[in-house]
Structure 1
């Protein structure tokens, strides 16, 4: 049973540390900045891929530090994502995060994760996060692709119309909710 509690984080209000500058680090950084381009991110790694360096040119809030990981890099961080090819470093970062009560994700190691990164479907302002409870990121990715294909691009227009209606409704919260539920019944 999947007991994960899904949340959407305002990453632009956080300082995120990514440890790892290889392919996995690139993948995690791309996902983070693709969803939250204004996120403040520090990436620490002994070696940093060229694609990551190119991203740093596009994202002024992305800081690259080409050095081995040290616990000092956890100072002032709110969230940590680890993706190195060194299991000992990954475990060390996780232990350091636990000691400081910082939430951490260690790529491909569910037992060391406080949270999982979901596969995300985006259609305008609509975002749907998909989780397999860490069991199969590949399945989540494929399912995301299916949803992206079947969800119409016109959903953004629908969301804007519903926002306009909600803003014009009178009454208390319950009355507004009842009216919006009545209007959106057609989505069943």
Structure 2
């Protein structure tokens, strides 16, 4: 049973640390910045891929540190994503995060994760997160591709219209909710 509680985090208001400068680090930093381009991200790794260095040129809030991980890098951080190819380092980072009550995601190691990164469908302001409870990120990615293909690009216009309607509605919360339910019932 999937007991995860889905949330959308305002990562631009948090301090994020990514440990790992290889392919997985590239995948994670790209995912974060594609969803939140102004997110303050520090990436630490002894070796950093050129593609990540190119991203740092495009995103001024991406700070690269060429160094081995040390728990001092956790100071002031709110979230940590780990993507190294060293299981002992990954486990040490997870333990250090636990000691400091920092939420951590260790790529490809669900048992060490406080949260999972979802596959995200984006159509304008609409975002749909797809999770498989850590069982198959590949399936989540494929399902995301299916949703992206079938959802029309005109969804943004619909969202904008519904926002205007919501802002013009009078009455208490219950009355507004009932009216919006009537309007959106055609989506069934």
How would you bin the TM-score normalised by the shorter chain?
A: over 0.9
Q: What is the match of residue 136 of structure 1?
A: 136
Deviation at 1:180, TM superposition (A): 0.2
CA deviation profile, 1:18-42 (whole Å, cap 9, x unmatched): 0000000000000000000010000
| Cα deviation digits, residues 50-93 of structure 1 (max 9, x gap) | 00000000111110000000000000000000000000100000
Query: 1:106 maps to what in 2?
Result: 106
1:166 match: 166
RMSD: 0.3
Give the TM-score normalised by the residue count of structure 1: 1.00
Structure 1 segments, 4+ long, off by >6 Å, are none
**Corresponding residue of 1:43:** 43
Structure-2 residue corresponding to 1:181:
181
Map 1:69-148 → 2, pairs under 5 A = 69-148=69-148
Total equivalences in the alignment: 188
Which runs of 5 or more structure 2 residues have no equivalent in the other structure?
none
Could you list the runs of 5+ residues in structure 1 that have no partner in the other structure? none
Question: Following the alignment from structure 1 to structure 2, what is the Cα–Cα distance between the partners of residues 116 and 101?
Answer: 17
Other structure's SS at 2:129 match: strand
